[in-house]
Structure 1
Amino acid sequence: MKDEDIERCVISVNQAIILFILAGIAEIGGGYLIWQWLREDKPWWFGILGAIVLVVYGVIPTFQKFPSFGRVYAAYGGVFILLAILWGWGIDKKTPDVYDWIGALMCLIGVTVILWAPRH
């Protein structure tokens, strides 16, 4: 493999990871705002802002370079699980236990297999 091919591959992987993280933050953040509005009696504009953020979340995955919608969303699901655990830890102050971390690791292994397994 040539150096420029390796560099292109690294850029592609980094771009995919960044887009997954952005999508996850948007989905979790939008859902959280709506949760706050409906369950925690926050003002109505929390719900409107949450809905806008969720629309943005719907657009972000379209920037992925992978050709398959299903594959992108399947892989994103694994990233989402890790981000949800981190959100709960950082925002809701719910400390993940060892099983949360093991489950998240298993999901990330699945993401790697789904996206980068050699296919013919």
Structure 2
Amino acid sequence: MTSLLLYLAAALAEIAGCFTFWAWWRLDRSMAWLLPGLASLALFAWLLSLVDSDYAGRAYAAYGGIYIVSSLLWLWLIEHRAPDRWDMLGAGICLVGAGVILFGPRGS
């Protein structure tokens, strides 16, 4: 459960941080938006490093599914655009993949 909360917090930090760059570049916002964005991206990296995993690559791969679902929630809640059925299908496939990575049996 702790890993899931860390993944969700990391996703929020990463998406918010990336959105500040999007807003600056694509929405013509002030460069001042980049400062909290950089802080948010640093927070993302720190949160992801707290996930209990023996290998960084495996933690990052499993995080990918959470990130995709969180991005679609951002699309819906912040950008006011509902994900379509293809978004939902793709997110479901990614969550299954993340589950296989996280919970697959490992040899010793």
For residues 40 and 102 of structure 1, the distance between their equivalents in structure 2, rounded to whole angstroms, comes to 29
1:77 matched to 2:64 = yes
Aligned partner of 1:60 in structure 2 is 47
Which runs of 4 or more aligned residues in structure 1 lie more than 2 Å from their structure 2 counterparts after TM superposition?
none
Instruction: Give the aligned residue type for 2:97.
Output: G
Instruction: Please point out which of 111, 115, 118 is paired with 2:98.
Output: 111
Please, what TM-score do these two structures have when normalized by structure 1?
A: 0.85
1:30 matched to 2:12 = no
1:44 matched to 2:31 = yes
Structure 2 residues not aligned, in runs of 5+: none
Answer 1 or 2: higher relative contact order, Cα 8 Å, separation at least 6: 2
Displacement after TM superposition at 1:40 (Å) = 1.2
Displacement after TM superposition at 1:68 (Å) = 0.8
Please, what TM-score do these two structures have when normalized by structure 2?
A: 0.94
Displacement after TM superposition at 1:107 (Å) = 0.7
Which has the greater radius of gyration?
1
Mapping for residues 86-101 of structure 1, pairs under 5 Å: 86-101=73-88
Displacement after TM superposition at 1:36 (Å) = 0.9
For residues 99 and 3 of structure 2, the distance between their equivalents in structure 1, rounded to whole angstroms, comes to 11
Displacement after TM superposition at 1:114 (Å) = 0.1
| Contact 1:78–1:110, Cα closer than 8 Å, also in 2 | yes
Instruction: Give the aligned residue type for 1:71.
Output: R
Instruction: Give the aligned residue type for 2:17.
Output: G
| Contact 1:34–1:51, Cα closer than 8 Å, also in 2 | no
SS at match of 2:28: coil
Aligned partner of 1:19 in structure 2 is 6
Could you tell me the percent identity over the aligned residues? 36
Q: What number of residue pairs does the alignment pair up?
A: 107
CA RMSD, Structure 1 to Structure 2 (Å): 0.9
